[in-house]
Structure 1
Amino acid sequence: MPRLYLAPMEGLADDVLREVLTRIPGYDHAVTEFLRVSATVLPGRSFTRIAPELKVGSRTSSGTPVHLQLLGSDPQRMAASAARLVRLHPAGIDLNFGCPAPTVNRHRGGAALLDEPELLHAIACAVRASVPKGIPFTAKMRLGIADTGRTLDCARALAGGGIDALVVHARTKVDGYRPPAHWEWVGRIADTVGVPVAANGEVWSEADWQRCRAVSGVSDVMLGRGAVADPFLARRIRALQADGTKTPDRDAEWAELSPLLGEFWWRVRAKLEARHAPGRLKQWLNLLRRNFPQAESLYGEIRALKDCTAVEGHLRRHGVPVLSAAA
């Protein structure tokens, strides 16, 4: 069966949102935000901070496996950090060669390395030596920095370095998140390397998923912002595979989503200082507005609010069950 993955999304899909999104079935695994490996080998607490799921078998409460993503440019420090992570029994280890953020790229991380396939190969080889064969070892890359001149070289370098599978975000670093995604390049990569390849980028609907697979020729897809904007997308894709296309019932889905929004708010309140909590809720609602008029209305009401008590009043008025942060 074609696989669906929940993408790593820095500053968005942390353990709180990951926990809530995977309550709705459909994902084969999720990937954490990246852990940066820079001047020193990462201590164990860094891994459990970004992935508390490590304490419970590296799975969310719904049973979705959670893979941890490492980012860095020093092969030996990356390998030593991976060796330390292995002791915590992660469900998988992933390498980040896709982040386009300038602050990351300035420090030789993420997509900034896509002009150096030899370095990508060295990193993959070093980490592969630290990761036992029983732990899935994967990588995620973009198509290049500004163009696709070295795309296939980078993919070959990673595959030759021993990764088990590759996810391709079908845009360059310079493209950022601007449409379109160039899914045809995913197919070129899949034809070039000897490991499974999954497509990522601009999949917001079942129709996008179908087009992505048709254009790329690959079966497996990683969902990113589309999964946050439509938490039921993975489940509907699974239903499409089984039963054929069905029109979403957004009112029914909102009724199902409301308690998950309440749980998300409770978990955010428990994790963050009160002054930061409203921003996290607004961030998710802002994406949900693409699909749910209820989210549009709620977002408009709380957009200017900074007080948690005031935010909770609006949540309750919209039928979202609210637990206190201390509950």
Structure 2
Amino acid sequence: MTLLLAPMEGLLDFVLRDVLTRVGGVDRCVSEFIRITGTLLPDKVFLRYIPELRNGSRTLAGVPVRAQLLGSDPVSMAENAARLAALGPEGIDLNFGCPAKVVNRHGGGAALLQEPERIATVVAAVRRAVPAHLPVSAKMRLGFHDTGLMRECAQAMEAGGACELVVHARTKVDGYRPPAYWEQIPAIRAAVALPVVANGEIWTVADALRCREVSGCDALMLGRGMVADPGLARAIRAVDAGLPGSDPVQWSDLLPHIAAFWQLVCDDLEPRQRAGRLKQWLNLMRRRFPEGEAAYQHVRTMTDQRAISAWVAALQEGQATTAGGPVPAGRSAAAAA
């Protein structure tokens, strides 16, 4: 089974990519989308989104990172793809799935799912603009208002030269509301000869196995589920290899990674962003770990960087406390159950 780490604007950026790929189990990452309008972006913009370009387009753990572009103008997309290609990315991915209103209003992201012909033009322009050895893939949703054009959109991406297709199994109108309609993906698989990757609502190993069965895809893309449970990819791999009894990643295993994340946030992000990023991650991890709930409740009102740094250090040493008592550093109660 191939496991990809999804791009998530404002959440799954280079900092979290670095930490999650250290935990392990991920085959490839995709960057947050870089929005292309009418401007030829300088190298520094690409490097800001994908600092891994300085490391052979790999995270420090050695996992490849594919760069994602979002735009609707074929000429501008091609020119920027060519400039990006000169920096040596693992590949280029094209975003036809973003549901954000500001993006769709300007004809980008999921808005293009209403115009398969334009999709083919954009993909073909990018494919021609970059070296033949460089993979060009695409990500789509099931449609904009409905699924009526999903096959045509997938075929347009294939006709334009895409080598792989990720399908987020919801329409633009669905947003991120559950469920994901994995049962729609086989129709897309039947319409193209491309490898298809299933994406959407994979929170647990059971979800991953069910998604594979329903969609028919041996490749999955993990998003919020991997952020909430950084050991998810490893756990899926263990079951896939017939080792369901393998020891899952515990809260205590994550403490060094939380500390590393906080250090990276402090080193690389603006001061106003730092506390919020830690709270954002803990807020998702409390879905999986009772200790994450206690940690989140403690830091959610904190803003002082020095105080948070001291708390993170104490967390590693098993001495961090909350108003309700100590935040345990031991084995997750959920896993123990």
- Specify if TM > 0.5: yes
Match of 1:254 in 2: 251
How far did residue 121 of structure 1 move?
0.4
Partner secondary structure for residue 250 of structure 2: helix
Q: How does 1:187-202 map to 2 (within 5 A)?
A: 187-202=186-201
Contact (CA 8 Å) 1:25, 1:235: kept in 2 or not? yes
Q: Distance in 1 between matches of 2:235 and 2:206?
A: 11
Which stretch shows the higher mean deviation, 125-134 or 147-156?
125-134
Match of 2:283 in 1: 286
Q: Distance in 2 between matches of 1:24 and 1:273?
A: 25
2:271 matches 1:274: yes
How far did residue 54 of structure 1 move?
0.4
Q: Distance in 2 between matches of 1:181 and 1:91?
A: 28
How far did residue 281 of structure 1 move?
0.2
Q: How does 1:34-53 map to 2 (within 5 A)?
A: 34-53=33-52
CA deviations on 1:241-261 (whole Å, 9 max, x unpaired) are: 113423865xx6211110110
How far did residue 273 of structure 1 move?
2.7
Q: Distance in 1 between matches of 2:317 and 2:236?
A: 26
2:250 matches 1:245: no
Sequence identity (%): 54
How far did residue 133 of structure 1 move?
2.5
Instruction: Output the amino acid matched with 1:236.
Output: A
Contact (CA 8 Å) 1:262, 1:320: kept in 2 or not? no
Q: Distance in 1 between matches of 2:237 and 2:15?
A: 24
Match of 1:324 in 2: none
Q: Distance in 1 between matches of 2:154 and 2:75?
A: 21
How far did residue 44 of structure 1 move?
1.4
Q: Distance in 2 between matches of 1:42 and 1:57?
A: 20
Q: Distance in 1 between matches of 2:187 and 2:245?
A: 32
Q: Distance in 2 between matches of 1:283 and 1:289?
A: 10
RMSD value, Cα: 1.4
Instruction: Output the amino acid matched with 1:201.
Output: G
Q: Distance in 1 between matches of 2:137 and 2:195?
A: 10
Q: Distance in 1 between matches of 2:217 and 2:271?
A: 44
Partner secondary structure for residue 68 of structure 2: strand
Instruction: Output the amino acid matched with 1:37.
Output: I
Q: Distance in 1 between matches of 2:219 and 2:42?
A: 33
Q: How does 1:71-90 map to 2 (within 5 A)?
A: 71-90=70-89
How far did residue 317 of structure 1 move?
3.6
Change (3 A) 1:230 1:31: same
Partner secondary structure for residue 7 of structure 2: coil
Q: Distance in 1 between matches of 2:113 and 2:86?
A: 30
Q: Distance in 2 between matches of 1:186 and 1:131?
A: 29
Match of 2:305 in 1: 308
Contact (CA 8 Å) 1:298, 1:314: kept in 2 or not? no
Match of 2:325 in 1: none
Q: Distance in 2 between matches of 1:175 and 1:309?
A: 41
Q: Distance in 2 between matches of 1:108 and 1:210?
A: 35
Contact (CA 8 Å) 2:72, 2:107: kept in 1 or not? yes
Aligned residues: 318
CA deviations on 1:199-222 (whole Å, 9 max, x unpaired) are: 000000110000001001111100
TM-score, structure 1 as length reference: 0.94
Instruction: Output the amino acid matched with 1:267.
Output: L
Contact (CA 8 Å) 1:142, 1:173: kept in 2 or not? yes
Change (3 A) 1:42 1:228: same
Q: Distance in 2 between matches of 1:246 and 1:29?
A: 25
The runs of at least 4 aligned residues of structure 1 exceeding 6 Å deviation read: none
How far did residue 272 of structure 1 move?
2.0
CA deviations on 1:163-196 (whole Å, 9 max, x unpaired) are: 0000000000110110110001111101110110
Match of 2:53 in 1: 54
How far did residue 313 of structure 1 move?
3.3
How far did residue 320 of structure 1 move?
6.2
Unmatched 5+ stretches in structure 2 = 319-337
Q: How does 1:148-297 map to 2 (within 5 A)?
A: 148-246=147-245, 249=248, 253-297=250-294
Change (3 A) 1:230 1:112: same
Q: Distance in 2 between matches of 1:111 and 1:320?
A: 46
Change (3 A) 1:287 1:72: same
TM-score, structure 2 as length reference: 0.91
Q: Distance in 2 between matches of 1:75 and 1:246?
A: 50
How far did residue 315 of structure 1 move?
2.4
